[in-house]
Amino acid sequence: MKLKTKTYQTEYSRMKSQQQQKLELRERLHPVDLDKLQIENQELLQVLDFKTRDLLDLKRTVGRRGQNLVSLKSKLNDTILSLKNMGQDIKQKEAKYTFTENKEAQNLNDLLTAEVLNQSIKKLNSTFKSPDVHSYLKMEMNLNELRTEQQVWERRCRNQRQTIILLEHQLKQAAPVSYSRSRSTFRTTRSFSSKSADSTLKQRDKVNFPHATPTTPMLL
């Protein structure tokens, strides 16, 4: 019962407020000219039609601009990618340029070193004096003669050694006492002949090669 009473009271308050609003609105109303309203409505409809057409044109323009924006965005992405590639190419070319500069500096240093070495070689060539060809040929001929004589003496020595061995063997078989005496006598004769041969070779070397350094005598 209380709930119904409360509901009725709320409905009564709402209807009373609506009645009050209608009374206030009625006081504000004034006589209306229908022809004027119709003319104003037509004008407003024309304006509305114009605005609607303008809005449709704007929508079509926005659509075209949207397509252009998408294409421009795609071109922008391509341009950014190409710029990145160009940046990488520039870095690689800078690295190659730096390497080339370092290589050029190294080549320049090598060239300077080679020039200094070339100058020193030229200076050495200018101061160097080669021996006379005639004297060189003469020395070469003398050297060949000495080598030939050395070979002859070596063959003679080998023959003498073989003869000595044979004689020693024969003497040993014949008489031991006479063998020892003859052996000592032969050694004395051999040393004397070796000394005389060495002195002869030294004198020959002095005559043929006056500026040559002394060498160790060959033992026969």
16 vs 8: CA distance, rounded Å = 12
Q: Do 140 and 183 belong together in one domain?
A: yes
* Range of the structural domain that residue 149 is part of: 135-208
Angle, nearest 10°, between helix axes 133-174 and 176-208?
180
Q: If pLDDT is split at 50, 70 and 90, which confidence band does 5 have? A: confident
The pLDDT score that the predictor gives to residue 4 is: 66
Provide the token pair at 18. 């609506």
Instruction: List, in order, residues 6 or more apart from 186 with CB less than 8 Å away.
Output: 164
Instruction: List, in order, residues 6 or more apart from 114 with CB less than 8 Å away.
Output: none
Q: Do 103 and 139 belong together in one domain?
A: no
Q: Do 111 and 185 belong together in one domain?
A: no
Q: Who wins on pLDDT, 34 or 160?
A: 160
Report yes or no on 89 lying in a domain: yes
Number of domains the chain is built from: 2
Residue with tokens 């006379």: 132
Q: Do 46 and 120 belong together in one domain?
A: yes
The pLDDT score that the predictor gives to residue 185 is: 56
Q: Do 76 and 116 belong together in one domain?
A: yes
Domain end among 70, 103, 124: 124
Report yes or no on 30 lying in a domain: no
Q: Do 47 and 113 belong together in one domain?
A: yes
Examine the pLDDT at 29 and tell me if it is beyond 70: no
% of the chain surpassing 70 pLDDT: 70
Could you report the per-residue pLDDT of 170-201, keeping only the tens digit for each? 888 876 545 455 555 555 555 545 555 555 55
Examine the pLDDT at 90 and tell me if it is beyond 80: yes
Report yes or no on 22 lying in a domain: no
Report yes or no on 16 lying in a domain: no
Domain end among 78, 96, 124: 124
Could you report the per-residue pLDDT of 126-176, keeping only the tens digit for each? 776 666 777 788 888 999 999 999 999 999 998 888 988 888 888 888 765
Torsion angle, alpha carbons of 35, 37, 43, 49, to 10: -120
Report yes or no on 58 lying in a domain: yes
Q: Do 92 and 71 belong together in one domain?
A: yes
Q: Do 118 and 147 belong together in one domain?
A: no
Name the pTM for this structure: 0.33
Q: Do 48 and 118 belong together in one domain?
A: yes
The pLDDT score that the predictor gives to residue 218 is: 37
